[in-house]
Amino acid sequence: MKHLAIISILVIIFTLLANYFLQSVGLLPVEASEQATVIDKLFNTHFWIISFLFSLISVVVVYSLIVFRRKGDDEDEGDGKYITGNNTLEVVWTVIPLITVIFFSFLGAKSLAATKVIEPEALNVNVTAGQWYWFFEYPDFEIKTDTLFLPVDRQVKLTMTSVDVIHSFWVPEFRVKQDVLPGDNFVKELYLTPTVVGDYTVRCAEFCGGAHAYMNSPVKVMSKEKFQDWVDTELGNQPKDPVSKGQKLVTQNGCVGCHSSDGKEGVGPTWKGLFGSTQKLSDGSTVTVDEEYLTNSIVKPNVQIVAGYPANVMPSNYADLFSQDELSSIIAFIKSLQ
Amino acid sequence: MKKFFSIGIIRGLIFQILGSFAGAGIFYGIRVLMGLQWKTEPTIVVGGLVGAIFFLVGQGSLRDWWHVAIGKEMPEAHEVKPYPGLRRYFEFTLDHKVVGVQYGVLSMVLLSVGGSLALIFRLELANSGLQILDFIQFNTLVGLHGMVLIISILTGIAALGNYLVPLLIGAEDMAFPRLNAFSFWIAIPASVILLSAMFFGGFETGWTGYPPNSVRGPMGVQMFFLGVYIAGWSSILGALNLVATIIRMRNKGMNLFRMPILVWSVFSTSFMAMTATQLIGLSFQLVMFERLLGMSFFTPSNGGNPILFQHLFWFYSHPAVYIFVLPGLGVISELLPVFVRKPLFGYKWVAMSSMGIAAVGFLVWGHHMFAAGIEDYLRVPFMYSSLLVAVPTGVKFFSWAATIWQGKVRFAVPLLFTLGAILVFLLGGLTGPPLGTVSTDLHLHDTYFIVGHFHDTMFGGFIFPIFAAIYYWYPKITGRKLNETLGKIHFYLMTPSFLLMTFGQMRIGLLGMRRRIADYDPSLNFDFTQLLITIAGYLIAISVLIFFINLIISAKKGELATGNIWKSRSPEWAILPSPAPAHNYEGFEFKLVGDPYDYGLKGSKYVELTTSSNSKSEAVL
Ligand SMILES: [Cu+2]
C-alpha cells in the first residue's frame, strides 16, 4: 500500500512535469490557420496522454528497480516474489485502454471533421504540382502565378493535381497536408483558412525524386485589401490616371479617417478646396497651398502646422511609405477636390 | 586455392556473377534472333534473376531436391554428416542451429551495411546546403538504408526463430530442414541484387517505391524491386517452416500454453510473414511489369490507379512492422523473468497479446495513407483500428512492469538491453497515437517525426532486443561469454546517443522538417539539431563497432560458459551444455515437469531429461 501511494504521487508529479515540458519547449510551428488551431488542440490532448503513460510505466519500472534491488552482491539471496499474474488487473488494463482508445478515436474523428468545415465563400485556387515546382491558378480572376497569394481569414479551396508523380501540399504553419496525384480521376481538394498575415512556404512532402528537397514555393498571406490590390495589379485593373490612383491610396492608407473630401471638419483639415487656397499656420504666417506645401505637409507633417489643429497627430512615417510617384498621385487627387 | 573455390558461398557468388552475364547474354541473343534492338533495362533484370538462380545452383541449395527429383536416395536430415568446424557456416547445412547462426551473421552484416549508408547521408545532413552528395546519391542511399535494414531485421528475426524455436520446444530440428537452409541461402543473392541497385543508376523512390515515381526514375529501382522480391521468398518460406515447426514438432507435454513465451511471438510473427509478404512481392512485381512490359497498373495517364499500389504495399508493410518487433518483444518477455527472478506476469495474456497485435495488425494499413487522398469513410475506420493496437501493446507493457515489480534484479548486460528495449519501445509506442488520429497525422505525415517514431519502434522492438538476445545466447552458440565491460560500454554509449537522435528527429519533424530531403532550408534553424543527430548516429555506430569487436574477441578469448550461467529454467540452459550439441536432445527423454517461468517457486523445474530410455524423443502431434 505504501508503495502504491508513493508511486501514485510520483506518477502525478512526473505527468505534470512531462506535460509542462512538452508544452513549453515549443514543439509546433506558428499556428497560422483555423485548421491548425483545431489540430493543435488535439495535439495538446495527445501530449497529456503521452506524459501520463510515460510517467506511469517508467515510474513503476524505475521505482521497482531501485527499491527492490538486490542488496549487496549476494547471488544466493534467492528469487523474487512468486506472483504469476492477476486476471482482474489484466482485465482492468485491457478494458480501460480500450475505452480510452475508442474515446480518443471519437475525438480524432471530430477533429478531422472540424478541419473539413467548408465555407460557401471559399476562394478557389487550382494547384498544379510537377517535378519540381508548384504552380497556382485563380480561376475566378484568371491569374496564374508561382507564388501562392492568400487573403487572411478567408477560406481557400485548393483543387490540386499533378502533371507527373505524386507530390504533397504542405505548409507546416497550416498543419493540414494533402497528396497531389496525377490523373484526371485523382484531383484532390484541400480547404484552409489562413489566420495570420505573413510569409510561409509550401513544401512538397511526398518524396518525388530528384530535387524533391527544393520543391518549395512562397506563400503570402495578406490582408484582404492587400490581396484585392494584388488581384487588381495582376489583372491590370489598377487605376492608371493619377487622380484615381491617389484616391485609392488615401483610402487604403487611412488618410480619409482624418481628412474629408467634402468640406466636413475632422481630426485634420478638409481637403476640399484646399489646393490654391491660402492657409493660416499656427505660427501666425500664411502660405499659399501649392504642390510643394502639400508634399511637405505629408512627409514632414510637424514642420508647418495648420492653425487650430494639434501637432503630432498626423502620422509622420509617410516619407518611407510612399514612392515619389504615389505622392504625386495623392497630390493630384487633393488638387482635384475643388 | 581449390579448397577456396569449394566453399559453398564462394561458389555461389561466382556462379551468380557468371549467371547474371549468361542470363543477360541469352536474353540479348533471343532478342537479336527476333530482330529486336538492345534494351538495357530488361536485359539487366533477366540477368539479375538468372544470377540468383545460378547462385542457388552453384551454392548447392538445390542439390538435394534435384537428387530427389531424379530418383536418387536422400538421407534423413539428422543422418547427414555436418561439415567440420567453421566451414559448416559457409555451406548448405541442415542443422537449425547453424542456419540460425548463418542468419544472424547475415543480419549483422546487413546491419553494418545499412547503418553505414546512413552514416554517409547523415554527413550530408549535418549542415544545410549540399556538401558531399548529389540528389541521386542521397536519394539512393536513403532508400537503400531503409530496405537493407528491413532485410537485416527479417534475417535477424529468422536467426532468433531458427536457432531458438527447436531448442525451446524440445524439437530435434525444424520441420523442413532443407527448406530452412534454402530460405537462408536465397537471402544472399537477394541482398546482393538489392545492393547492386546502387550501381545501376540508383533509385529515387525511398523504400516504399511508390509509382508513378518508381515507374519513371532510374533503372536501379528494378534491382531494388527484384532484390526485395527474392528476399520475400526467404521470408515466406522461413515463416512457413517456423509455423509448421511450432505446430508439429513440440516435444511431449509441451502444450501451447507451456511453451516459452518467445515461441508465441515467433509464431505470431511467422503467421503474418507467411500470409502478408506476398502483397509486397506482388505490388513490386506489378511495377516491374509496368516498366518492362508497358503494362499499366498504377499510372493514371494509362488508366492505372496509384492509390491501389499503396493499398497493396501497406497491406504487407504495415503488418511487417509487427513482424519486425514481435520477436523482439518476445525476447523482452523471455529474458525479464530470468533476470528479475520472478514469473512472467500473466503469461497467457502476454501470449494472446502477440496474437492480438498480429490480428489487429492486418486491419490498420490505411493509416499510412491518411494524406494520400483516400475517402473519409476509410480514414475514420482506419483511425479506430490503428489506435486499437494500443490495447494489446499496453497489455505487454503493463505485464512487463508487473513482472519487474518486486523483482530481485540482476543487472547483467542482457537485462540492460532488455530495459533499454522497454524504454525505447515505450517511446515508440507513445509517439504512435498522434500519428494514428487523422488530423494530427496530416501535420506529421512524411516528416522527421515519423522518422523518429519508427526508429524508436525498430530499435525498441528489434535492435535492443536482438543485442540482448545475442549477449544472452552467444554462450550457447560458442561456449564462451561475451565480455561484460565491453557490453556495458556498448549499452551506455548506445542508449543515450540513440535517445538524442530520435528526440532530435521528432523535434525538427514537428517543426516542419520533411523526410527524405537532401537539403533543408537554413532559415528553419535546424542546422544545430541536425548536427546533433549526425553526431549521435556516429556514436551509435561506434558502440556497435565495439559490440562487433566483442563478438570476435570473445569467440576465442571469452570466459568459458559452464553450466546454467543465467540460472534459467528454459531447457536450452537448464539441461544442455554450452555450446549446444549438434543433435539437440538426442538420446534423452525430454520431460516437462513444470511451467516455464516459475521463478521463486521453491524446488520447481520446467524440464528434465531422463537418460533411462535411449529412445529418441518423439514429437507430439
Ligand atoms: Cu514533390
Helix (H) or strand (E) holding A271: none
pLDDT at position A74, please? 55
Judge whether A209 lies within some domain.
yes
**Could B212 and A116 be called an inter-chain contact, meaning their C-beta atoms sit closer than 8 Å?**
no
* B310-332: average pLDDT: 92
CATH number at residue A203: 2.60.40.420
Cβ–Cβ under 8 Å, residues B209 and B310 = no
Q: Is residue B616 over pLDDT 60?
A: no
Residue of B nearest to A57 (CA): B401
The Cα-based distances of B326 to B44, B150, B156, B356, B464 in angstroms read 37, 14, 12, 11, 13
Q: Are B30 and B61 in contact (CB under 8 A)?
A: no
> In B, which residues are within 8 Å of A208 by CB distance?
213
Q: Which of B314, B308, B429 is nearest to B374 (CA)?
A: B308
Q: What is the pLDDT of residues B85-103, one digit of tens each?
A: 788 888 888 889 999 999 9
DSSP-derived 3-state class of residue B80: coil
Residue A135, all three cell numbers: 504552380
Is the minimum CB–CB distance between B439 and chain A shorter than 8 Å?
A: yes
Most confident of B523-537, B584-598, B607-621: B523-537
- Cis amide linkage into residue B260, ω under 30° from 0: no
Residue B617 — pLDDT band, cuts 50, 70, 90? Answer: very low
The owner of cell 483545431 is A38
Of B534 and B605, which is predicted with more confidence? Answer: B534
Distance B175 CA to ligand 1 centre (A): 49
In total, chain A counts a number of residues equal to: 338
- For chain B, say whether A24 makes contact (Cβ under 8 Å): no
pLDDT over 90 (residue B217): no
CA distance A212 to B518: 8
Burial class (CB in 10 A: 0-12, 13-18, 19+), B485: exposed
Q: How far apart are CA B91 and CA B93, in angstroms?
A: 6
Within this chain, do residues A185 and A263 fall inside the same structural domain, yes or no?
A: no
Q: How far apart are CA A327 and CA B399, in angstroms?
A: 77
Say whether residue A198 is in contact with chain B using an 8 A CB cutoff.
Answer: no
In the predicted structure, residue B614 carries a pLDDT above the cut 70: no
Burial B358-381 (b: 16+ CB within 10 A, else e): bebbebbbbbbbbbbbbeeeebbe
User: Residue A83: inside a domain, yes or no?
Assistant: no
The one-character DSSP state at A144 is E
> Do B213 and A207 touch, CB atoms closer than 8 A?
yes
A201/A230 same-domain check: yes
B146, pLDDT greater than 50: yes
Which of B522, B541, B557 is a domain's end point? B557
Does residue B430 belong to the interface with chain A, where contact is any CB pair within 8 Å? yes
Q: Do A183 and B597 count as a contact with CB atoms less than 8 A apart?
A: no
Tell me, what amino acid is at B145? H
Question: How close does chain A come to B531, measured CA to CA in Å?
Answer: 18
> Among the three residues A212, A236, A260, which one is the final residue of a domain in this structure?
A236
Tell me the shortest Cα–Cα distance from B590 to chain A, in angstroms: 25
Is B296 in the same domain as B438? yes
Instruction: Answer whether B46's CB lies under 8 Å from B27's CB.
Output: yes
Distances (CA, A) of B424 to A50, B271, B383, B503, B505: 14, 26, 24, 11, 14
Q: Would you place residue A72 in the very low, low, confident or very high pLDDT band (cuts 50, 70, 90)?
A: low
* Residues A105 and A160 placed together within one structural domain of the fold: no
Whether chain B has a CB inside 8 Å of the CB on A110: the answer is: no
Q: What is the pLDDT of residue B561?
A: 86
Are B235 and B574 in contact by the 8 Å Cβ rule? The answer is no
Domain boundary among B74, B89, B112: B74
Average pLDDT over residues B511-539: 94
Instruction: With residue A39 as reference, give the H or E element that holds it.
Output: helix A34-67
Q: Which of B16, B602, B619 is nearest to A80 (CA)?
A: B602
Q: Considering only CB atoms, which chain B residues are within 8 Å of A165?
A: 210, 212-213, 216
Chain centroid, CA B216 distance in Å: 30
- Confidence at residue A77, expressed as pLDDT on a 0 to 100 scale: 60
Q: What CATH number corresponds to the domain at position B228?
A: 1.20.210.10
Name the minimum distance, in Å, from the CA of B532 to any CA of chain A.
17
Compute φ and ψ for B587, nearest 5 degrees.
Answer: 80, 5
When pLDDT is cut at 50, 70 and 90, the band that residue B615 belongs to is very low
B598 residue type, one letter: D
With a CB cutoff of 8 Å and minimum separation 6, the contacts of A99 are none
Residue B437 in domain: yes
| CB burial of residue B327 (10 Å; 0-12, 13-18, 19+) | buried
pLDDT at B84 over 80: no
A–B: how many Cβ contacts below 8 A?
A: 286
Asked if the model's pLDDT at residue B138 lies above 60, the reply is yes
Chain B interface disruption, residue of A81, A187, A199, most B CBs within 10 A: A81
Task: With CB atoms and an 8 Å threshold, state whether B600 touches A81.
Answer: yes
CA distance B418 to B22: 49
Q: Which positions 495-514 of B are in contact with A (Cβ < 8 Å)?
A: 507, 510-512, 514
Decide if B566 touches A, using CB distance below 8 A.
no
A196 near A220, Cβ under 8 Å? no
**Pairwise CA distance, residues B133 & B126, whole Å:** 12
Q: Which residue has the cell 488551431?
A: A37
Rounded Cα distance, B259 and B256, in Å: 6
Q: How far is B539 from chain A (nearest CA, A)?
A: 25
Question: Please, are residues B333 and B340 in contact by the beta-carbon 8 Å criterion?
Answer: no
Helix, strand, coil percent content, chain B, rounded in steps of 5: 70, 0, 30
Enter the C-alpha cell of residue B404.
519487474
- Same domain, residue pair A13 and A98: yes
Structural contact between residues A310 and A323, judged by C-beta atoms closer than 8 angstroms: no
C-alpha cell at A330: 495623392
Whether A226 and A325 map to the same domain: the answer is no
Domain limit, last residue, from B21, B54, B74: B74
Residue B618 inside a domain? The answer is no
Indicate whether B48 and B152 sit together in one domain. no
- Are residues B172 and B46 part of one domain? no
**How confident is the model at residue B618, as a pLDDT?**
43
Collect all residues of chain A within an 8 Å Cβ-Cβ radius of residue B566: none
Strands A286-288 and A156-162: unpaired
Q: Do A43 and B434 touch (CB under 8 A)?
A: yes
Of A177-181, B250-254, B377-381, least confident by mean pLDDT is: B250-254
Q: Do A112 and B404 touch (CB under 8 A)?
A: no
Q: How far apart are CA A334 and CA B269, in angstroms?
A: 82
Q: Are residues B35 and B85 in the same domain?
A: no
Q: Measure the CA–CA gap between B286 and B298, rounded to whole angstroms.
A: 9
Question: CA-CA distance, B345 to B350, in Å (whole number)?
Answer: 8
Domain for residue B585, yes or no?
Answer: no
Q: Which of residues 258-297 of B touch A (CB under 8 A)?
A: none
Res B621: pLDDT: 33
Query: pTM for the whole thing?
Result: 0.86
Cis amide linkage into residue B314, ω under 30° from 0 = no
My answer on whether A230 and A131 are in the same domain is yes
DSSP state string for B240-287: HHHHHHHHH-PBTT--GGGS-HHHHHHHHHHHHHHHHHHHHHHHHHHH
Same domain, yes or no, for A189 and A248? no
Order the strands of the A198-204 sheet from edge to edge. Answer: A148-151, A216-222, A198-204, A167-170, A177-180
Q: Is residue B481 part of a domain?
A: yes
The answer to whether the CB atoms of B440 and A28 lie below 8 A apart is no
Whether residue A274 has pLDDT greater than 90 = no
Average pLDDT, chain B: 90
Taking each helix axis from N to C end, the angle separating B484-511 and B413-430, rounded to the nearest 10 degrees, works out to 10
Mean pLDDT across B8-17: 89
Per CB-CB distance under 8 Å, the chain A contacts of B437 are 42, 46, 104-105, 107-108, 111-112
B591 touches chain A (CB under 8 A): no
Q: Are residues A27 and A131 in the same domain?
A: no
Residue found by looking up cell 552475364 in the block: B21
Please indicate, yes or no, if residue A195 is contained in any of the structural domains. Answer: yes
Let me know whether B58 and B82 are in one domain: no
DSSP B43-74: HHHHHHHHHHHHHHHHHTTTHHHHHHHTT---
Could you tell me if residue B611 is inside a domain?
Answer: no
Residues of B in contact with A51 (CB under 8 A): none
B24 CB-contact burial (10 Å; exposed 0-12 / middle 13-18 / buried 19+): buried
In a domain, residue B605? The reply is no
Residues A221 and A247 in one domain: no
Instruction: Give the whole-angstrom CA distance, residue A68 versus residue A55.
Output: 19
Question: How far apart are the C-alpha atoms of B86 and B97, rounded to whole Å?
Answer: 13
Is A274 inside a domain boundary? yes
Residue of chain A nearest B506, judged by CA positions:
A27
Is the pLDDT assigned to residue B611 strictly greater than 70?
no
- Which among B234, B282, B200 has a CA at the least distance from the CA of B24? B200
As a whole number of angstroms, the distance between CA A119 and CA A191 comes to: 9
pLDDT, mean of residues B359-372: 92
How does DSSP classify residue B82?
P
Q: How far is the CA of A164 from the centre of ligand 1 (A)?
A: 9
pLDDT in tens, A15-65: 999 999 998 888 999 999 999 999 999 999 999 999 999 999 999 999 998
Q: Does one domain contain both A166 and A228?
A: yes
Domain count, chain B: 2
Chain B nearest-CA residue for A30: B511
Question: Is the pLDDT score of B553 beyond 80?
Answer: yes
**Exposed/middle/buried for B472, CB within 10 Å: 0-12, 13-18, 19+?**
buried
Could you give the CA distance from residue B372 to residue B600 in angstroms, rounded to a whole number? 53
Domain that holds residue A207: 123-236
Question: Is B433 near chain A, with CB under 8 Å?
Answer: yes
Q: Which of A68-72, B537-541, B567-571 has the highest mean pLDDT?
A: B537-541
pLDDT value of residue A75? 56
B472 and B352 within one domain: yes
Pairwise CA distance, residues A255 & A295, whole Å:
14
CB contact under 8 A, A207 and B427: no
Q: pLDDT digit string (tens) for A284-324?
A: 888 888 888 988 888 888 888 888 888 888 888 788 778 88
Mapped onto helix, strand or coil, the DSSP state of residue A245 is helix
User: Which pLDDT band, with edges at 50, 70 and 90, does B585 fall under?
Assistant: confident
Interface test with A, best of B514, B526, B566, B569 (most A CBs within 10 A): B514
Cα(B382)–Cα(B400) distance, rounded to whole angstroms? 28
Between these two residues, B421 and A131, which has the higher pLDDT value? B421
**Under an 8 A CB cutoff, do B423 and A104 touch?**
no
Split at pLDDT 50, 70, 90, the class of A257 is confident
Average pLDDT over residues B121-127: 93
d(CA A305, CA A307): 6
A209 at interface of B, judged by CB pairs closer than 8 A: yes
B83 and B59 in a common domain: no
Contact between A311 and A282 under an 8 Å Cβ cutoff? The reply is: yes
A6 and A53 share one domain: yes
CA B71 from centre of chain: 37
Pull the grid cell for residue B193.
541484387
Which structural domain, as residue segments, surrounds residue B14?
A: 1-74
With an 8 Å Cβ cutoff, are A28 and B427 in contact?
Answer: no
Domain assignment present for residue B576? The answer is no
User: Residue B445: inside a domain, yes or no?
Assistant: yes
Identify whether residues B45 and B100 lie together within a single domain.
no
Q: Give CA B118 to chain center in angstroms.
A: 18
Count Cα atoms within 13 angstroms, Cβ side, for B117: 20
Last residue of a domain, one of A236, A252, A269: A236
Same structural domain, B65 and B106: no
My answer on whether B441 and B527 are in the same domain is yes
> Would you say B442 and A39 are in contact if contact means Cβ atoms under 8 Å apart?
yes
